[in-house]
Amino acid sequence: MHRIGEEATLAGAVLTVDLSAIAANYRFLAARAGTAACAAVVKADAYGLGADRVAPALRAAGCRQFFVAQVNEGVALRAILGPGPGIAVLNGATPGSEAACHAHGLVPVLNDRGQAEAWRALARRLGEALPGILQADTGMARFGFAPTDLTALLDDPGGLAGIAPALLMSHLACADEPENPANARQRAVFDGLRARLPGVRASLSASSGIFLGPEFQADLVRPGAALYGIAPQAGRTNPMRPAVRLQARVMQVRTVPAGTPVGYGHTELTTRDSRLATVAIGYADGFPRSTAGGEAWLGESRMPMVGRVSMDSIVLDATDLPPDALRPGTPVDLIGPNRSVDAVAAAAGTIGYEVLTGLGHRFHRIYSGV
């Protein structure tokens, strides 16, 4: 059983991030992508796990192209990685941030005419062509040019004046569902636009799309969640290595009679004389309040959660464990060898992405590997 070290005794819970697992996941995905280059998406502070530690580990594993969502994330990542690696901003440059974007060596994703025109205006002021990534909305209605708008831009003799297209990209809406016909529809639209930009690299797939086959991999893939251990395809065996372990401390153990109401709203009553353990983790730490059927583990022993998640605590039923198994300070696993991020998400009615990115900074963090 993994023990929480003395240096973490001030915290109620400990998050261990396995950098070697993240690096191994990157290498696995890069190999799965065949001839396509493999980037890494490290937006939202590397999905909540700490871009300052995760991005250098990915660079050491061979990654040379990174994606973030916002310009400020890109500025912070450039300070971490230094010159050299490419950094692209998925949301594009916010109005007025174009000069800062260029100054920090960031390449914006151009999602509409307004962003393209602002980037062209900066290029005119600087007297040089600036790299930009063109994003097409092929069927998600989120970011990107509508196909007709991108076609009009390409037909306009001055539409790309001052812009050196570095990549044509789009994003699949249903890639985690391999049989969904939307994937083929989006690829057909993307392939048609790709034919308008010969010689420009293309990128369609993020984590899940890599597993749809070579025809979806294009020239560059952009995995994010799979790097951090989240299953890339629903209902299939997860090939990724788990990258996080979340342990929280037992703060109190008590015995209560059958019929005792537990937690806010008295949503559950004990069905037998029970030994309950109150554990120092709650929704203020990013552990979802919506969790139903949650559990924690001590080694190979399962303890179901009882009652609602509070701001700073949950209650576990430890009745079936030996009486001396738990005491104040004992760490139990919320995410670990017997409970994946995806399982925690399923119990909360959400997805692993939300669980990871929601993990707060009240934890003591340990980085292992690499």
Q: Give long-range contacts, CB 8 A cutoff, 24+ apart: 107-112.
A: 107/131, 107/132, 107/133, 107/166, 108/71, 108/132, 108/133, 109/133, 109/134, 109/135, 109/143, 109/169, 110/134, 110/135, 110/163, 111/135, 111/143, 111/144, 111/145, 112/144, 112/145, 112/149
Q: Comparing C-alpha atoms, which of 208, 195, 137, 210 is closest to residue 169?
A: 137
According to DSSP, the β-strands at 314-317 and 261-262 are: unpaired
Q: Collapsing DSSP states into helix, strand and coil, what is residue 312?
A: coil
**E strand residue ranges, 268-313:** 268-269, 274-279, 295-298, 301-306
b vs e for 235-250, b when ≥16 Cβ sit within 10 Å of the residue's Cβ? eeebebbbbbbbbbbb
Q: Is 140 annotated as a binding residue?
A: no
Residue with tokens 């583990």: 297
Q: Is 311 annotated as a binding residue?
A: yes
Q: What distance in Å separates the CA atoms of residue 295 and residue 300, rounded to the nearest whole number? A: 12
The token duo for 275 is 């030994």
Where helices occur in 63-112 by DSSP H, the ranges are 71-81, 98-103
Give the number of other CB atoms < 10 A from CB of residue 361.
12
Residues labelled catalytic: 43, 264
Binding residues for substrate: 142, 311
Binding residues: 142, 311
